[in-house]
Amino acid sequence: MQKLLILLILSFFSSQGYTASCPDGSEPVKSVSADGSYFVYKCASNSNNDVSNKTPIDQDSILANKLEQRRTINVFKAWDSPGTYGDVFDYHYGLYWTVDPKAPEHTIKLSQINWNFNYPRYDYDDYDGIEEFILKKDWQHEAEYGATDTVKFWDDNFAEYISNVSQELVDQYDTDGVELDWWRDYGGVLASTGLNSALVKKARTSIAAKLRDKLGNNAVILGNVGWDLNTATTEYINGVFLELWKAPGTQRYSSSDISKMEDSLYFYDKYLQEPRIIAMAPWRVSTGGNSRLIPRDAEENIRYAKLFAAMAMVIPENGYILYSDNNWDESDGDYGHQYYDFYNIDLGKSTSKAIEVTKGVAYKKHQNGYIAFNRLGYDVTVDFGDFQSVIPPMSGVFLNLDGKKI
């Protein structure tokens, strides 16, 4: 009786707080469980509410072939961190970017493009002709990255210039497109230029348009948007990097932070061009701002890694996950991480889009099972049709076809 009362209370708050939360805008259908002890919520639709005017890639293209080789859980690699050089051949990464990304045939490789700043101490971003656009003005990057000069990306001739550079690098390194760091209208960009956000937006839109025209529809243009929700360039780009920065000393993400992550995944899966590649990079739990005090394989880190992996696989069409160290953990590189054993779970290809049970709870069907997540603070029972399963709070689960957790 006590269990029934608790579940009735929870279902009351769910029905009050999450109206019209199915992907098609309708309310979840509430029914009573088989034993009559709790309510079950289920959406009738499994649509992700796409917007129109998407430009598809050619189905016989190299990029389409690589996407066809996606696994149940798809991990990406952002640059190279200490101890990870060459490990793209040791573990299965579906997406990877750096200056010269050498990787297996199945990996989508992107050339890193420094479009708004230049490192004087390195030569990899000394593109032929870049000196015309370099200002001897501090870009105000974090101290760990050293001196950084501002690039005059708002110059009338820059968009054409950087698109030509990008095409040359894609051809030189045989990559599938480009990665644009700091792809947003404020933050480090504005601090270095003094431009208002409208002018930065105008410049970025011009760059994105020229890049798409130069690289064509079968190339990936992926921007690091961080926490931003911004459609300024989604008419042209087909990928985003969700670099989910948290301030030094922050131990873990709040429930509000994780809700924002969910919103970002739905947002960009709706507005990006095809094939809508979303690379999600949450940072692991730390103590006193030092995550090395909590091992990567600690129970709490594994729990969060599964939650975020499930969110990244369920919500977007083509999601990728990297649960990594915090950027301040090492002075000589970012995105160190553990390649968790559960990344190798094989449930086959997905056979549905995200099915949102209620805000904060969703699942996706696969050939041989289901992936589901619950970012809420309490148990939620989900009806998968052939069975029901309790999804614990703040967790991601991987189920076979009869509901057994893997």
Q: Each residue of 280-298: pLDDT tens digit?
A: 999 999 886 666 778 999 9
Q: Is the peptide bond before 56 cis (omega within 30 degrees of 0)?
A: no
CB distance 313 to 76 below 8 Å: no
Residue 327, pLDDT score:
84
* Mean pLDDT in residue range 354-381: 98
CA 164, 170, 173, 179 torsion: positive or negative?
positive
Total length of the chain: 406
* Mean pLDDT in residue range 323-338: 83
Residue 47, pLDDT score:
41
Distance CA 335, CA 327 (A): 7
Task: Give the contacts of 336 (CB within 8 A, at least 6 positions apart).
Answer: 81, 82, 83, 84, 324, 325, 329, 330
Percent of the chain at pLDDT above 90?
73
Taking CB atoms within 8 Å and a gap of at least 24, the contacts of 156-160 are 158/133, 158/203, 158/207, 159/203, 159/206, 159/207, 159/209, 159/210, 160/210
CB distance 192 to 150 below 8 Å: yes
Residue 53, pLDDT score:
55
Mean pLDDT rounded to a whole number for the chain? 88
- Two tokens, residue 286: 């730390």
Distance CA 378, CA 364 (A): 20
Given a cut of 80, whether residue 399 has pLDDT beyond it is yes
β-bridge partners, 260: none
Q: Residue 143: pLDDT band by 50, 70, 90 thresholds?
A: confident
Task: Give the contacts of 199 (CB within 8 A, at least 6 positions apart).
Answer: 154
Distance CA 198, CA 236 (A): 18
CB distance 114 to 181 below 8 Å: yes
Helix 197-215, helix 158-173: angle, nearest 10: 40
Residue 68, pLDDT score:
97
Residue 45, pLDDT score:
41
Q: Residue 248: pLDDT band by 50, 70, 90 thresholds?
A: confident
Distance of CA 136 to the CA centre of its chain: 34
Q: Is 62 exposed, middle or buried (0-12, 13-18, 19+ CB in 10 A)?
A: middle
Domain architecture of the chain: domains with CATH = 2-45+354-400 (no CATH), 62-344 (3.20.20)
* Mean pLDDT in residue range 94-101: 96
Phi first, then psi: give them for residue 140, nearest 5 degrees.
Answer: 65, 40
Q: Residue 3: pLDDT band by 50, 70, 90 thresholds?
A: very low
CB distance 373 to 310 below 8 Å: yes
Given a cut of 90, whether residue 142 has pLDDT beyond it is no
Distance CA 36, CA 53 (A): 46
Q: Residue 353: pLDDT band by 50, 70, 90 thresholds?
A: very high
- Two tokens, residue 405: 């957790």
* Mean pLDDT in residue range 226-247: 96
